[in-house]
Amino acid sequence: MPCQDSSKVLDPETAIPLEERGMEEEKVTVEFKPEEEAQIADNSAVETGLEEMDQEMVREMEVTMEGDVRDTSPCHPESQGLQGTIKGHDLFGYVGIEAVLEQMRRKTMKAGFEFNIMVVGQSGLGKSTLVNTLFKSKVSRKSCTLNYEEKISKTVQLQSVSHVIEEKGVKMKLTVVDTPGFGDQINNDNCWEPIVNYVNEQYERYLKGYTSTGSGGSQTLASHCCVYFLPATGHWLRPIDVEFMKRLGKIVSIVPVIAKADTLTMEERLEFKQRIRQDLKANGIRVYPQKEYDEDPEDRILNDKIRENIPFAVVGTDKEHQVNGNKVLGRKTKWGIIEVENMAHCEFANLRDLLIRSHLQDLKEVTHNIHYETFRVRRLNESNLTVHGLALSCFPMENGTHGSNGTNGTSDRSDSESHL
């Protein structure tokens, strides 16, 4: 229905002439006293102000009505693409959206989870024992290898072992990557390079599988987390610790721990943890969880508590003992039993909660969305540079050598590598 002109409806100045009413105008002369003239002047000023206010209100109403008509027009572009929130009490009835969670749960239960963990540190720090303690089963390479012989490797070798762990109907494929030989030599220069190459090779395989099949194929990402074992020296970080974490922190999530923390007193432990945090900050080492990955205030509060306790002072064991009638995991000494899961004794429970109970899925997402995507972008840029260089070499240069280097006809590799 077309809107009427509000000025015609609401204009108070519109009046019917007296001639149309059958009346005749009469001229009346009235004399006023000075006081009455002043009163009339004030009244006329007030009436003039009221008339101006009425006209202003009329104009505002006209603008409002025009805006309402424009906004309610179905063809107006601003009325398209609106987004609103419809809550449960606004629905006409049950829709069934909540059933999506059950669908996701059933699908995940059927497919299971995957989690890859890498343990790095010199021999004798209890890496295999701690992994067994985390998952309360014999999952380490040492535990599941028959006739295992402990010997120091001359080079850094990466070996992995996989298990399927099932708990209350939930299956998880666990892959443990061990690094025997790391930090065990007299000369440990570049001992981190085999580990860096291993992670990059796994990213490369996943990238090729994703390019060919669109889903990564049967390949999985190398490691969702790297637990780095620091010896309980009570001093500062060693140069090998600094160099390793600076390089690996760019391609994988690192969680540093103080191994065999029961060899330190409580005062020594607190001082050592504080020195390590100072070294991490001074050397710009990125350990998990990073502040820039906090998604909301709730995550920030939780992660701040974790960052305050890093590195975790842990003790590992796979043996149970009786304490007050209860079986607990612990290390038995002459002066008592060190309970692994007792927060008053060590911080193993914090590490377990971080890796499994609270941040397992986040570790996987950070690995895929941050570390792997960074690698993928870098590889694509390198491929584009290579293709661009080949395209340029197809065009003859001024000397007609097709981009070759003078007399011998070989390409100048040093220049191309420096650009890459």
Closest to 354 (Cα-Cα) out of 321, 314, 407: 314
pLDDT band at 406 (very low <50, low <70, confident <90, very high): very low
pLDDT of the residue at 221: 72
Q: In 227-265, which residue ranges form alpha helices assigned H by DSSP?
A: 239-248
**Domain extent listing, the chain:** 109-146+154-365, 375-419
Q: What's the count of helices (H) and strands (E) in the chain, helices before strands? A: 12, 9
| Euclidean distance between the first and the last CA atom of the chain, given in angstroms as a whole number | 69
Whether 170 and 109 have beta carbons less than 8 Å apart is answered as yes
Mean pLDDT for 179-197 is 89
Q: In 255-368, which residue ranges form alpha helices assigned H by DSSP?
A: 266-282, 297-309, 348-352, 360-366
Question: Does 2 have pLDDT greater than 60?
Answer: no
Q: Where are the beta strands (DSSP E) in 52-189?
A: 113-120, 159-167, 170-178
Q: For domain 109-146+154-365, is the CATH number 3.40.190.10?
A: no
Whether 182 and 121 have beta carbons less than 8 Å apart is answered as yes
pLDDT band at 219 (very low <50, low <70, confident <90, very high): low
Q: What's the pLDDT tens digit per position in 91-134?
A: 788 888 888 988 988 888 888 889 999 999 998 899 999 999 99
pLDDT band at 213 (very low <50, low <70, confident <90, very high): low
The pTM for the full model equals 0.70
What's the one-letter identity of residue 247? R
